[in-house]
Amino acid sequence: MRKKIPTITRPDPAYAATLQQGDREIPGKEDEAQVTATKTGTPVADVGADRHESERAPKSAVAPHHVTAESSDPHTSLRAPVSARALSPTRKIDIRVNALERQEGALEACGVEPAHVVRAALRRAVKGWQLSPVFAAVAEERRTRNTQWQARTSLAVDAASLGVLLRDHDPLDVLSKWALIRGQVEPRIWGEIDKILEEIAVRAASPHEQPGP
């Protein structure tokens, strides 16, 4: 008489474990992926893909280090651009400028202190000016003898251009540096004095604005 084989009516954990081992599935993997997906909000398929990708990658693999210009020299991006003029060396020269005799009458009648006009003209004349290495002879114009109208200051000039002037016109370095650049500076200042006097005259001749009602 044959032994009756009982009918299986519920899942057999032992039998299911043998099937998962045959398919090379590790028990608990699906549950672990499900828990990870629940915590991170990532789909189960993505979690499994990430795990398989990490298992295939060798442990010694290290992400390559990208070297850029900024990382190799951190100061490159922090340094402000420097103009060529700021890099060129300069040399200071003391200058003394008088107005011309022909300008005395207009300076006295302009209604502004003549010394202020001369100083303003000096500031305008040297703003943005660059010393030329080509020597200019001193003008023979007659200067005023009123020393109170004299403007004195120190002026920074390009050292290379001054060196050319020294080499060509004062190789023994016995003259004052002002004598070397005077022919370039004085005419500019006298021209600015004339412009300021003209501006003052035009302003004085224009009718005053009538006050509103």
> Is residue 2 a part of any domain in this protein?
no
Amino acid at 110: C
Give the number of domains in the chain: 1
DSSP state, 145? S
For 29, the 3-state DSSP assignment is: helix
Q: Which tokens is 24 given?
A: 């090379």
Read off the pLDDT of residues 176-194 as tens digits, 9 standing for 90 and up. Answer: 999 999 999 999 999 999 9
In a domain, 133, yes or no: yes
Residue 197 lies in a domain: yes
Q: What is the pLDDT of residue 63?
A: 45
Is residue 56 exposed (0-12), middle (13-18) or buried (19+ Cβ within 10 Å)?
exposed
In a domain, 154, yes or no: yes
Q: How confident is the model at residue 17 (pLDDT cuts 50, 70, 90)?
A: low
The more confidently predicted of residues 47 and 107 is 107
Range of the domain at 151: 90-205
pLDDT tens digit sequence for 95-153: 999 999 999 999 999 999 999 999 999 999 999 999 999 999 999 999 999 888 888 99
Q: Is there a contact between 90 and 156 (Cβ–Cβ < 8 Å)?
A: yes
Do residues 70 and 77 make contact, with C-beta atoms less than 8 angstroms apart?
yes
Is residue 122 in a domain? yes
pTM, whole model, 2 decimals? 0.57
Sign of CA dihedral 63, 69, 75, 77: negative
State the distance between the two ends of the chain, measured CA to CA, in whole angstroms: 134
The answer to whether position 120 is within a domain reads: yes
> Residue 150's closest CA among 101, 183, 114?
114
Residues 6+ away with beta carbon under 8 Å from 154: 92, 93, 94, 95
Q: What is the mean pLDDT of residues 37-53?
A: 47
Which residue is associated with the tokens 């189960």? 44
Write down the H helix ranges in 82-143: 84-87, 104-109, 114-126
Cα–Cα dist 209/213, whole Å: 12
Comparing CA positions, the residue from 85, 70, 58, 91 lying closest to residue 159 is 91
34 in any annotated domain: no
Question: pLDDT value at position 168?
Answer: 94
Tell me whether residue 210 is in a domain: no
